[in-house]
Amino acid sequence: MLDTLTKAQKKTARALIDIALERDCAALIDEVSCLAQKPLDKVEKPNHARYIELYKVIESFDKHLADRYDGITGSKYLDTVSFLLAEGSLTDEDLAVCDETMKSELLRVKEILLDIRNR
Protein backbone atom coordinates (compact mmCIF):
# COMPACT_ATOMS: atom_id res chain seq x y z
CA MET A 1 0.00 0.00 0.00
CA LEU A 2 1.30 3.41 -0.98
CA ASP A 3 0.90 5.88 1.90
CA THR A 4 2.56 8.97 0.49
CA LEU A 5 3.64 9.99 -2.97
CA THR A 6 7.15 11.05 -3.84
CA LYS A 7 7.68 14.40 -5.51
CA ALA A 8 7.96 12.67 -8.91
CA GLN A 9 4.77 10.68 -8.27
CA LYS A 10 2.92 13.85 -7.30
CA LYS A 11 4.04 15.45 -10.55
CA THR A 12 2.75 12.44 -12.47
CA ALA A 13 -0.53 12.46 -10.55
CA ARG A 14 -1.02 16.17 -11.27
CA ALA A 15 -0.45 15.52 -14.97
CA LEU A 16 -3.08 12.74 -14.89
CA ILE A 17 -5.55 15.04 -13.12
CA ASP A 18 -4.97 17.63 -15.84
CA ILE A 19 -5.67 15.01 -18.53
CA ALA A 20 -8.97 14.12 -16.86
CA LEU A 21 -9.90 17.80 -16.55
CA GLU A 22 -9.23 18.33 -20.26
CA ARG A 23 -11.40 15.32 -21.12
CA ASP A 24 -14.23 16.56 -18.91
CA CYS A 25 -14.05 20.01 -20.52
CA ALA A 26 -14.00 18.46 -24.01
CA ALA A 27 -17.18 16.55 -23.14
CA LEU A 28 -18.84 19.81 -22.10
CA ILE A 29 -17.76 21.54 -25.31
CA ASP A 30 -19.24 18.67 -27.32
CA GLU A 31 -22.52 18.86 -25.39
CA VAL A 32 -22.75 22.63 -25.75
CA SER A 33 -21.94 22.41 -29.47
CA CYS A 34 -24.76 19.91 -30.00
CA LEU A 35 -27.19 22.08 -28.06
CA ALA A 36 -26.17 25.20 -29.95
CA GLN A 37 -26.63 23.50 -33.34
CA LYS A 38 -29.97 21.83 -32.79
CA PRO A 39 -32.92 23.44 -34.62
CA LEU A 40 -34.63 26.30 -32.87
CA ASP A 41 -38.06 25.55 -31.44
CA LYS A 42 -41.06 27.46 -32.65
CA VAL A 43 -41.35 29.52 -29.49
CA GLU A 44 -41.67 33.25 -29.04
CA LYS A 45 -38.04 33.75 -27.98
CA PRO A 46 -36.10 30.72 -29.26
CA ASN A 47 -32.66 32.28 -28.80
CA HIS A 48 -33.37 33.21 -25.22
CA ALA A 49 -34.71 29.71 -24.51
CA ARG A 50 -31.55 28.21 -25.99
CA TYR A 51 -29.40 30.58 -23.93
CA ILE A 52 -31.16 29.46 -20.75
CA GLU A 53 -30.65 25.81 -21.69
CA LEU A 54 -26.95 26.37 -22.38
CA TYR A 55 -26.55 28.39 -19.18
CA LYS A 56 -28.04 25.57 -17.11
CA VAL A 57 -25.76 22.99 -18.69
CA ILE A 58 -22.68 25.13 -18.06
CA GLU A 59 -23.74 26.01 -14.52
CA SER A 60 -24.29 22.33 -13.70
CA PHE A 61 -20.94 21.43 -15.24
CA ASP A 62 -19.23 24.17 -13.25
CA LYS A 63 -20.55 22.60 -10.04
CA HIS A 64 -19.35 19.21 -11.26
CA LEU A 65 -15.86 20.60 -11.91
CA ALA A 66 -15.76 22.30 -8.53
CA ASP A 67 -16.78 19.10 -6.73
CA ARG A 68 -14.28 17.02 -8.64
CA TYR A 69 -11.23 19.30 -8.96
CA ASP A 70 -11.28 22.16 -6.43
CA GLY A 71 -9.03 21.96 -3.39
CA ILE A 72 -6.91 19.05 -4.55
CA THR A 73 -3.63 19.09 -2.67
CA GLY A 74 -0.71 16.70 -2.91
CA SER A 75 -2.07 14.58 -0.06
CA LYS A 76 -5.27 13.96 -2.08
CA TYR A 77 -3.64 13.21 -5.46
CA LEU A 78 -3.67 9.44 -5.10
CA ASP A 79 -7.33 9.32 -4.04
CA THR A 80 -8.29 11.78 -6.77
CA VAL A 81 -6.53 9.87 -9.55
CA SER A 82 -8.04 6.60 -8.28
CA PHE A 83 -11.52 8.14 -8.37
CA LEU A 84 -10.98 9.60 -11.85
CA LEU A 85 -9.80 6.19 -13.01
CA ALA A 86 -12.83 4.41 -11.53
CA GLU A 87 -15.20 7.02 -13.00
CA GLY A 88 -13.70 6.65 -16.47
CA SER A 89 -12.15 10.09 -16.84
CA LEU A 90 -8.80 8.31 -16.95
CA THR A 91 -8.02 4.96 -18.55
CA ASP A 92 -5.70 2.17 -17.53
CA GLU A 93 -3.58 3.15 -20.54
CA ASP A 94 -3.10 6.63 -19.07
CA LEU A 95 -1.24 5.01 -16.19
CA ALA A 96 1.67 4.13 -18.46
CA VAL A 97 3.37 7.31 -17.19
CA CYS A 98 3.30 6.01 -13.59
CA ASP A 99 5.99 3.99 -11.90
CA GLU A 100 5.00 0.39 -11.09
CA THR A 101 4.33 1.08 -7.40
CA MET A 102 1.97 3.94 -8.14
CA LYS A 103 0.31 2.12 -11.02
CA SER A 104 -0.41 -1.00 -9.00
CA GLU A 105 -1.81 1.05 -6.11
CA LEU A 106 -4.07 3.06 -8.44
CA LEU A 107 -5.39 -0.11 -10.08
CA ARG A 108 -5.94 -1.72 -6.66
CA VAL A 109 -7.95 1.25 -5.37
CA LYS A 110 -9.85 1.47 -8.67
CA GLU A 111 -11.03 -2.12 -8.24
CA ILE A 112 -12.16 -1.39 -4.66
CA LEU A 113 -14.11 1.67 -5.82
CA LEU A 114 -15.74 -0.25 -8.66
CA ASP A 115 -16.63 -3.07 -6.30
CA ILE A 116 -18.27 -0.63 -3.88
CA ARG A 117 -20.17 1.07 -6.69
CA ASN A 118 -21.46 -2.23 -8.06
CA ARG A 119 -22.87 -3.44 -4.75
Task: Print pLDDT tens along the chain (119 aa).
Answer: 777 899 999 999 999 999 999 999 999 999 999 888 887 766 677 888 888 989 999 999 999 999 999 999 998 999 999 999 999 999 999 999 999 999 999 999 999 999 998 88
> Which domain does 63 fall in, by range?
7-117
Contact present, 20 and 89 (Cβ < 8 Å):
yes
> How many domains does the chain fold into?
1
Tell me the pTM: 0.86
Q: Does residue 89 fall inside a structural domain?
A: yes
CA distance 34 to 24: 16
Q: Does residue 107 fall inside a structural domain?
A: yes
Q: Does residue 1 fall inside a structural domain?
A: no
107, exposed or middle or buried, with CB in 10 Å at 0-12, 13-18, 19+?
middle
Looking at residue 43, its pLDDT comes to: 62
Looking at residue 48, its pLDDT comes to: 85
CA-CA-CA-CA torsion for 27, 31, 33, 38, nearest 10 degrees? Answer: 160
Looking at residue 2, its pLDDT comes to: 76
Looking at residue 100, its pLDDT comes to: 95
Contact present, 105 and 95 (Cβ < 8 Å):
no
Q: Does residue 2 fall inside a structural domain?
A: no
Q: Does residue 88 fall inside a structural domain?
A: yes
